Structure 1
Amino acid sequence: MVSRCAPSVQQLESFLALAEELHFGRAAARLFVTQPALSRQLQALEERLDVLLVQRSRRHVEITAAGEALLPKARAVVEAMAGLCRAAGAHARQVDGRLVIGSIGAEAAMPYTRAILDELHTRHPRLRTSVRGLDLATHFDALERGEVDVMFLRPPVPAGIETLPLASEPRVACLPADDPLAGRDEVRLAELAGRTVVDIPPPCPRVWWRFWAADPRPDGSVVRYGPMVPDMEALLLAVSRGEAMAFLPAAARHFFPRPGVGYVAVPDLPPGTAALAWAARNRALPTIAAIRQAAAAVLRQAPAAR
């Protein structure tokens, strides 16, 4: 129970300002109050504590011995109250509820994804999250329909979806292991002209798959599409059977080694980007704002990882 003599934080702040300035006018200006208001706060504090804190005269302000003895405790109380307010504010800003996170390919296992989810859980421990693996054909559709709230994916994206770029990496050619080029360290894009590329069925936006198929080629040549594959396993199976090839992020070497499949660097192929994505209409929702902010914080902490 708080004693009836307990001073207010405002009274203690008035005392601290006066002790540092030793001038009523400067202390009042610092606190954005009038001098009479500052005098009343100090008088009320002295009455509550039943001790004289300041010796006043028209030209001189002096802190009494009792005031000097109480200064550290007054400062500690003010700092503790400020800390309490900060903690309460941080708690009030925590987001609860549920966030469904989509992921394609190996995005859920990438370092930036793990770092962002760790940061999100640190900031909002009451927020429940779940991660859903999505196939290549319908991942944008899942975001548009609200089956997932946000997604770790590989741009480009269709209209209506916003992204925060997270990292970039080279793309590689995914070839049948018996392809004459599969044993090379690298190939030029022109050397792959005429090879059939796997296709993705609707509702996948063409703007996305044309980028990943390198269509059109720099020389204007037409890309010939082959079998439609809805997901990564179907894509890799089609490649291993010699039905077609594909272009994938370089991380596929590590995450998707398969019998009958080889990966070859393509130095003149523009790199791909990884991003966090959300429907533009939902960007201000508290849960989506929370993961966007967590991602931005991770990028600020480790800019070299981008």
Structure 2
Amino acid sequence: MSLIEKLHPAGIDDPTAHQLRLLLTLAEELHFGRAARRLYLTQPALSQQIRSLEDRLGIPLFDRSSRRVELTDAGRAVLPVARKVVAAADELRAVAGRMAAGSSRLRLGVCESVAALTATRDIITALTRLHPDQAPDLRVLDRFADQLTALRSGEIDAAFTHFPIPDDLHGEPLTHEPRLACLASADPLTSRPALHLADLADHPVVTLVAPTFRTGHDFWTAGPRPAGPAPRAGSTVESLLATVALGTTVAFVPASTAALYPRPDLRYLPVDDLADCTFGITWHPGNPAPAKLATLRDVAAAYRRPRSKR
């Protein structure tokens, strides 16, 4: 019986390779803040994942105090097995990536919040018409961070995203739209027809973008905010909206979110001094499938041209 089988009885969910990867990074840094920055996560999100891993294994992996973080004896015993699992997962991803890269099908990442957008559907329809026997291979990725990871690893060729994007990625804009303030329907500010950023200075901001991606974090929190509460983190669009609905927080979201996620416990209001946002396609410049990306970029350029003449 292996160490994992001894520590982890049948009937309990297995730890994920992602959680084991977080474990290995934290074991190297022995500091939640530094490890979170390396992983493009917030510190609370990393802490939550490590606790979930400990719950799944049924053992404490780290001793935590206000001054330091240390591996427990059990944590040290698990590390060699965790390294093997992560290495196997990396090898599996690499093999799948090489096989998929050899296919002429374009692998497109789509997250839940943009799958229903007109631009997304139009681009996918145009690609399918060009190559009806090789329609795009769509991969649903729930989180922005998952899209970045999949682009950098080669798991997908491109993704539909809102901008800004990290400097190591390239992007092609498709559409522009206003950003709105999303507030709980009980918030007194919802009685107004429109807001200014100053009206929201005392509201904590909820965002899906980790502070390690500073440009994106500042854009989606209307930051940097010189005063007021620190931004909070959400993991998915649904968790972000639930956080807003349950408290005196605000999220700055694309205007399309109001149409895609109408809820009686939320209100979406225009903010007069908040800049618009851009939606488009994103890819990694080192992607091994330039021909597929060239077709996608041509379709995107054709999609934009009629709109620029209006």
TM-score when normalising by structure 2: 0.61
Matched with 1:131 is 138
User: Partner amino acid for 1:235?
Assistant: L
Matched with 1:181 is 189
- Does residue 294 (structure 1) correspond to residue 294 (structure 2)? The answer is no
Could you list the runs of 5+ residues in structure 2 that have no partner in the other structure?
1-101
Aligned to 2:195, the other structure's residue is in SS state coil
Deviation string, structure 1 residues 134-164 (Cα, Å, up to 9, x no partner): 2134322222122221111111111111111
C-alpha distance 204-143 of structure 1, shift in aligned 2 (>3 A): farther
- Does residue 159 (structure 1) correspond to residue 164 (structure 2)? The answer is no
Which of 297, 300, 308 aligns to 1:303? It is 308
User: Partner amino acid for 1:222?
Assistant: A
Which of 101, 119, 126 aligns to 2:126? It is 119
Which of 92, 100, 105 aligns to 1:98? It is 105
Which is higher, the Rg of structure 1 or of structure 2? Answer: 1
Aligned to 2:167, the other structure's residue is in SS state coil
Matched with 2:206 is 198
On the 8 A contact 2:187/2:248 being kept in 1, the answer is no
Aligned to 1:237, the other structure's residue is in SS state helix
C-alpha distance 304-179 of structure 1, shift in aligned 2 (>3 A): farther
Matched with 1:244 is 249
On the 8 A contact 1:154/1:274 being kept in 2, the answer is yes
Matched with 1:208 is 216
On the 8 A contact 1:153/1:275 being kept in 2, the answer is yes
1:222 positional shift: 3.4
Aligned to 2:136, the other structure's residue is in SS state strand
Matched with 1:222 is 227
Identity %: 35
Most deviating of 224-233 and 185-194: 224-233
1:105 positional shift: 4.6
Aligned to 2:166, the other structure's residue is in SS state coil
| Distance in 1 of aligned mates of 2:131 and 2:207 | 40
Aligned to 2:137, the other structure's residue is in SS state strand
1:250 positional shift: 0.8
On the 8 A contact 2:159/2:282 being kept in 1, the answer is yes
Superposition RMSD in Å:
2.4
Which of 153, 167, 177 aligns to 1:169? It is 177
C-alpha distance 261-137 of structure 1, shift in aligned 2 (>3 A): farther
On the 8 A contact 1:140/1:204 being kept in 2, the answer is no
User: Partner amino acid for 2:176?
Assistant: S
| Distance in 1 of aligned mates of 2:250 and 2:304 | 34
| Distance in 2 of aligned mates of 1:155 and 1:282 | 19
On the 8 A contact 2:209/2:216 being kept in 1, the answer is no
Matched with 1:274 is 279
| Distance in 2 of aligned mates of 1:283 and 1:183 | 52
C-alpha distance 105-215 of structure 1, shift in aligned 2 (>3 A): farther
On the 8 A contact 1:155/1:274 being kept in 2, the answer is yes
| Distance in 1 of aligned mates of 2:223 and 2:236 | 20
Aligned to 1:251, the other structure's residue is in SS state helix
1:263 positional shift: 0.7
1:244 positional shift: 2.1
Deviation string, structure 1 residues 89-145 (Cα, Å, up to 9, x no partner): xxxxxx972222112353222222222222212222232313233213432222212
Could you list the runs of 5+ residues in structure 1 that have no partner in the other structure?
1-94
User: Partner amino acid for 2:218?
Assistant: R
1:280 positional shift: 1.4
Aligned to 2:121, the other structure's residue is in SS state helix
Aligned to 1:280, the other structure's residue is in SS state coil
| Distance in 2 of aligned mates of 1:99 and 1:204 | 29
Most deviating of 133-142 and 252-261: 133-142
Aligned to 1:163, the other structure's residue is in SS state strand
Deviation string, structure 1 residues 46-67 (Cα, Å, up to 9, x no partner): xxxxxxxxxxxxxxxxxxxxxx
User: Partner amino acid for 1:167?
Assistant: T
